[in-house]
Structure 1
Amino acid sequence: MITLHHLENSQSIRILWLLEEIGKPYGFKMYDRDPKTMLAPDDYKALSPLGTAPVIVDGDVVLAESNAIIDYIVDSSDRADLRPAPGAASRADYLFWLHTAQGSLQPMQTFSFVLGIATQRAPILVRPIVRKVVDTLNSAFIQPRLKAVMGLMETHLETHEFLAGAEFTAADIAMGYTLQMAKLRGALDADYPNIFAYVERMEARPAWQAALAKDGKFNGVPS
């Protein structure tokens, strides 16, 4: 049986969501962050060489990285509907949005969040310098990439209920979490009505609500 080692307020909640969508028994172990550093505890870091969330254990298999875990869990389930088959019309959209979530959007959001924290924690005397550097990075690098991805998704969702077409897939779980973080941090506004409506559809899913209830602490900070 697959066991999810779940770190509070982390990307591993998307794996908890996936497991709830599948609806089969799974193991679950919750880990709290260090209240001072907000980092994962040592026993969690020891689970995998990366020391990051999420992590699953299935017999002798210990696996990290969200998309790798998503593929592994879908492979192990009978939910073929969660991943369009090779050759299916929706396959390319599925692959694109699944990997855009982790390859483009999530890194930029995390980078922006970390830079914001760095600015807040910088010593007062150097804070203006740090803020200027952060503002330059945001305007020249982070925001243009975020706007490109969000603009493309906004247009895509004008004609698609889900990212891969008419059916909910694991790509919606990968991207849905990332967009929920954007919403919690105020990055979704009137410029993205289709994305906002999409996020509300994801948040209304019973499996997402069940994942929130099982987690019990999720507030989107930190990621």
Structure 2
Amino acid sequence: MIIVHHLNNSRSQRVLWLLEELGLDYQIKFYERDPSTMLAPASLMEVHPLGKSPVITDGELTIAESGAIVDYLVTHYGNGRFMPVRESHDYLRYNYWLHYAEGSAMSPLLMKLVFDRIERSPMPFFVKPIARGIAQKVKASFISPQISRHLDYLETEISKTGWFVGNEFSAADIQMSFPLEAAASRGGLNDSRPNLMAWLAKIHARKAYSLALEKGGKYDLLS
């Protein structure tokens, strides 16, 4: 039995979604973030030494990292669904998006999250203007332009067929959902990039997506 070690408001939501798309039986073990630090609980380190989510266990196997989990599930349980054939050009594109989602797209969004928190964090009054000034400078000069560059690139890419690989939905779209939902929540993605917004609307309308939300619980990236 596949067990998803599911952290609230995290990347593991898309693992639940993929499992629903595949129609697999699975169990969820829930973990809650610390409300003050927003970090995962120490109990996740009993599953994987880094204490991160998503992590799945499948029999004796423990698999971490979103891209690796997506690849494992589709390869072992997909029966040819949700991925191109390995010898095709589309497979290279598919594999690219599995890596790009976390390797490139999430980096500036995570930096923005960190520097936003620096701006909002309580600190001595004489330090606050300096810290906030530095945070605002870094965001304006580096982080925001990087996010904008990635969103422009993705807007162009998704405009070609409406999906990230070929002419139909694939696991690459599942992998790309988290950075683009994060961008819509806190990274400036809006109706100025209509192709990406249309893609978000399509994935949110999928029955498996809704089922995964029902089972996974609150997912604040959608708010």
CA contact (8 A) 1:5 1:28 kept: yes
The amino acid that maps onto 1:22 is L
Q: Distance in 1 between matches of 2:68 and 2:28?
A: 18
- Partner secondary structure for residue 30 of structure 2: strand
Answer with 167-176 or 92-101: which moved more: 92-101
Q: Distance in 1 between matches of 2:118 and 2:78?
A: 44
Q: For 1:28-48, what per-residue CA distance to the aligned partner results, in whole angstroms no more than 9, with x for missing partners?
A: 111122233322222123211
Number of the residue aligned with 1:72? 72
Number of the residue aligned with 1:190? 191
Q: For 1:55-106, what per-residue CA distance to the aligned partner results, in whole angstroms no more than 9, with x for missing partners?
A: 1111221121111111111122034221212222322321222221111111
- Partner secondary structure for residue 166 of structure 1: coil
The amino acid that maps onto 1:99 is H
Number of the residue aligned with 1:62? 62
- Partner secondary structure for residue 187 of structure 1: coil
- Partner secondary structure for residue 220 of structure 1: helix
What displacement does 1:186 show?
Answer: 5.8
CA contact (8 A) 1:122 1:130 kept: no
**Sequence identity percentage:** 38
- Partner secondary structure for residue 148 of structure 2: helix
Q: Distance in 2 between matches of 1:29 and 1:43?
A: 11
Number of the residue aligned with 1:210? 211
- Partner secondary structure for residue 5 of structure 1: strand
What displacement does 1:110 show?
Answer: 1.4
The amino acid that maps onto 2:77 is S
- Partner secondary structure for residue 81 of structure 2: helix
Q: Distance in 2 between matches of 1:78 and 1:154?
A: 28
The amino acid that maps onto 1:67 is G
- Partner secondary structure for residue 43 of structure 2: helix
Q: Distance in 2 between matches of 1:217 and 1:158?
A: 30
CA contact (8 A) 2:41 2:51 kept: no
The gaps in structure 1 that reach 5 residues or longer are none
Q: Give the length in aligned residue pairs.
A: 221
TM-score with structure 1 setting the length:
0.92
Number of the residue aligned with 1:99? 99
The amino acid that maps onto 1:7 is L
Q: Distance in 2 between matches of 1:181 and 1:148?
A: 15
The amino acid that maps onto 2:194 is P
Answer with 201-210 or 38-47: which moved more: 38-47
Number of the residue aligned with 2:24? 24
Q: Distance in 1 between matches of 2:154 and 2:39?
A: 32
Number of the residue aligned with 1:141? 142
CA contact (8 A) 1:33 1:41 kept: yes
Q: 1:134 to 1:79 in 2, by over 3 A?
A: farther
- Partner secondary structure for residue 93 of structure 1: helix
Number of the residue aligned with 1:109? 109
